[in-house]
Chain A
Amino acid sequence: MGLNLRAKLLLSLTTVLAVLSIVGFMTLNVQSDWGFIVQHRGSRLLGMLLVAITMGLATVVFQTITHNRILTPSLMGFDVLYVLVHSLALLVWGVGQNTGWPVELRFIVEVAVMVSIALVIFRLLFTDSVRGLHVLILLGMVTGLLFRELAELAQRIFDPSEFSIQQGSGIANFNRINVQLLWVGLIGVGLCSALLFRFRHQLDVLILGRDVAINLGIPYTKTITLLMLAICVLVSISTALVGPMLFFGLLVANLAYWITGSHQHRWTLPASVLAGIVCLVGGQLVFEHLLNSGLPLAMIIELCGGVLFIVLLLRGVKQ
């Protein structure tokens, strides 16, 4: 039931790379005093680590409960759904900081609203009846597109300078991490990760499909709802911190499957996080300090993820 030699080697290599990325990111090209570096780079590092954890876990768990390796929460538009809720919240609360509500509290309320909407949508799409994967992907893309357009509409109604999440063209940005939400994000990620890791054995069973899972005693609807809730919270945190990322989750989840070659979540969950750290922190390190390039890392990651998406789709068509 353990990992084979190849998987062990790959997993160790990924771990080493992840640690090297973190150490390198904090220490390379240090010119000013350490206090500033720790505060400046430390908060960015923490933000990236949180994004790596959220996207990895959320995607792997989502793919397990929907029995596919192509569809992700981002492709279903869960991240832009959060953006939409956030912009509508600005409408209700009014723009500006002097609403009397602290940022963290507003964030929590927004997440609660987003989770409720996402759960309803999930219920409608993933009913007890089995749908073809291609129908699901189509439906997911349509809902994703719908939220994207609605969020854009909302963005046009408001003053764009007040729209703190949606940056630039709507692509994630690791140089402008929303540091105000780091602490509440850290707590949320901690709770959700602990929950998901506790459910690792149940997740293993859920891969076998609904009927077998119920046969083996999993309270199916309750478990799926709880897992979906955790996924939504994780996606919201990631989106609030850096902005929406369409293909990053797909990339790290499939890297995790490839690295471990296993169905067991006690391996795939950590592997997805490690792969995410290598991609984000390692990528940022290479771009910022080694290449001195102004290229946005998010673009490159999205490009790789997008290519992978097409490859997976083509392979799915062939089967």
Chain B
Amino acid sequence: MIEARGLSKKYQDTLVVEDVSLQIPKGGLTSIIGPNGAGKSTLLSMISRLTPMSVGTVEIDGFDVTRTSGPELARRLSILRQHNESSLRLTVRDLVAFGRFPHSGGRLTTEDQKHIDEAIQYLELEEYQQRHLDELSGGQRQRAYVAMVMCQDTEYVLLDEPLNNIDMRHAVGMMQLLRRAADEKGKTVVVVLHDINFASCYSDHIIAMRRGQLAYQGMPEQIIRNEVLTDLYDIPTSVHELNGQRICTYFR
């Protein structure tokens, strides 16, 4: 379980995240939604110790993220942010292999090679595995980084806007893959999403943020509702039930 208590982040005089306390249960897929500037990414990077918090604590299965040793935490939790180095002369396979670093410290065993093959297969990157990162399209590169995180084989997988820059087909593929990671491998997946319909169709749990604060949280059918979404995004929305999925339209 991920447990945040009284989490705040202050840059100079602006509070980006204000007193957020929440629990993310083990297992399943949790989405974090909310308008721009709501503090979603900052919250995620504080949970994953990429950004130091101004106030508050985060515990992952009882391990305080600011006090647990780097490698220890890296075997339990992985985080992928939006912007990653793209100009590296590194093959996809080399990148994915870095996912084994917390486990083997740079010296790859045959066990590690198995994990690397598996992650490459999982993300359908077999034909690109010897290509360099700077020769790939944005979507392929994104998948290569996700493969690295999968290869890290952690209980908790945190992703900041994994659907950025990828087309419909790959976005669906990515969400199905994360769903499978949660269902088949029992991982706890936490994603920041902008598209609320993806959040609606794939999540077990949704956290909604607004102006740095926790606005709502609950199951998709509790959050994907007109009164909640209209209040959250400040535009009129209409939620429809289509083939058992709750779809929100807000385009005109």
**Interface, chain A (partner B; CB < 8 A):** 1, 67, 128, 200-202, 204-205, 207-212, 214-220, 261, 263
- Closest residue of chain B to A205 (Cβ to Cβ) is B101
Residues on A with C-beta less than 8 A from B95 are: 208
Beta-carbon contact of B80 and A209 below 8 Å: no
Q: How far is the CA of A261 from the CA of B89 in the complex (A)?
A: 8
Whether A263 and B90, one on each chain, are in contact in the complex, defined by CB atoms closer than 8 angstroms, is yes
Does B79 have its Cβ within 8 Å of any Cβ on chain A?
A: yes
Chain B window 68-84, contacts with chain A (Cβ cutoff 8 Å), 1 for yes, 0 for no? 01111111001111001
Residues of A within 8 A of B81 (CB): 211
Complex contact A215–B80 (CB within 8 A): yes
Known: A205-B101, A217-B102. Is A212-B85 also a contact (CB below 8 A)?
yes
- Given the contacts A215-B79, A219-B69, A205 and B85 also touching, CB distance less than 8 Å: no
How many angstroms between the C-alpha atoms of A218 and B75 in the bound complex? 12
**Is there an interface contact between B88 and A263, defined as CB atoms closer than 8 Å?**
yes
The interface bits of chain B over 140-168 (1 if a CB of A lies within 8 angstroms of the residue's CB, else 0) are: 00000000110010000000000000000
CB-based nearest A residue for B94: A1
One of A128, A201, A209, A263 near B105 (C-beta < 8 A): A201
B84 and A217: CB pair below 8 A?
Answer: no
B48 CB within 8 Å of chain A: yes
Closest CB of chain B to A252's CB: distance in Å?
Answer: 19
Give 9 pairs: A residue, B residue, CB < 8 Å, sorted on A.
Answer: A67-B85, A205-B101, A207-B85, A209-B84, A210-B50, A211-B81, A215-B74, A217-B74, A218-B70
Q: Which B residues are in CB contact (< 8 Å) with A217?
A: 69-75, 101-102
What is the chain B residue whose CB lies nearest that of A202? Answer: B106
Q: Nearest-CB distance from A67 to chain B (Å)? A: 7
Flag whether B26 is at the interface (Cβ < 8 A): no
Please determine whether B88 and A208 come into contact, CB atoms closer than 8 angstroms. Answer: yes
- Interface residue B49 (Cβ < 8 Å from any Cβ of A): yes
Question: Shortest CB–CB separation between residue A195 and chain B, in angstroms?
Answer: 16
Closest residue of A by beta carbon distance from B51: A128
**Shortest beta-carbon contacts, A-B, top 5:** A201-B106, A217-B74, A217-B71, A217-B70, A217-B102
**B108 is an interface residue with CB less than 8 A from chain A:** yes
Name the distance in Å between A112's Cβ and chain B's nearest Cβ. 28
Q: Is the CB of B106 within 8 A of A204?
A: yes
A67 contact set on B, CB distance < 8 A: 85
Q: How far is the CA of A118 from the CA of B15 in the complex (A)?
A: 33
Complex partner residue of A1 from B78, B80, B85, B97, CB under 8 angstroms: B97
- C-alpha gap A81/B49 in the complex (Å): 35
Residues from chain A with Cβ under 8 Å of B75 in the complex: 217
Q: A212-B98, A217-B72 are in contact. List 4 more A-B contacts (CB 8 A).
A: A201-B106, A205-B98, A217-B101, A218-B70
